[in-house]
């Protein structure tokens, strides 16, 4: 059983070979060329959307925090 696992691991290690730095960078360049980059207009539109959504959520969480703070202050004042 152990010999069979060692034999399988040996076969897997034989199949893996080291790539040279030049080959690695050429593969990186080939993969980078496959990327579809967004246009400037898409990037600006997305950034504006994120900013607006962030402001809406900030106001929402400010309200929730204020409400919880008021509830806690009210509970503490009742206990004193």
Q: What is the pLDDT of residue 80?
A: 84
User: 46 or 1, which is more confident?
Assistant: 46
Confidence of residue 61 (pLDDT cuts 50, 70, 90): very high
Instruction: Tell me what pLDDT residue 5 has.
Output: 63
pLDDT tens-place string over residues 5-58: 666 666 655 567 788 989 999 999 999 999 999 999 999 999 999 999 999 999
Segments making up each domain of the chain, as ranges: 37-79
CB burial readout 60-75, b (16+ within 10 A) else e: eeeeeeeeeeeeeeee
Going from the C-alpha of 76 to that of each of 62, 69, 70, the distances in angstroms are 21, 11, 10
What's the whole-model pTM score? 0.56
CA gap 66, 74 in Å, rounded: 12
| Angle (CA) 32 33 37, round 5° | 85
């Amino acid at each position: 059983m152990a010999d069979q696992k060692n034999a399988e691991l040996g076969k897997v290690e034989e199949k893996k070979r080291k790539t040279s730095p030049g080959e690695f960078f050429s593969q990186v360049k080939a993969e980078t060329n496959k990327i579809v980059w967004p246009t400037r207009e898409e990037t600006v539109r997305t950034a504006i959307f994120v900013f607006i959504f962030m402001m809406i959520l900030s106001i929402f969480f400010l309200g929730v925090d204020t409400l919880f703070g008021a509830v806690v202050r009210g509970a503490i004042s009742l206990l004193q």
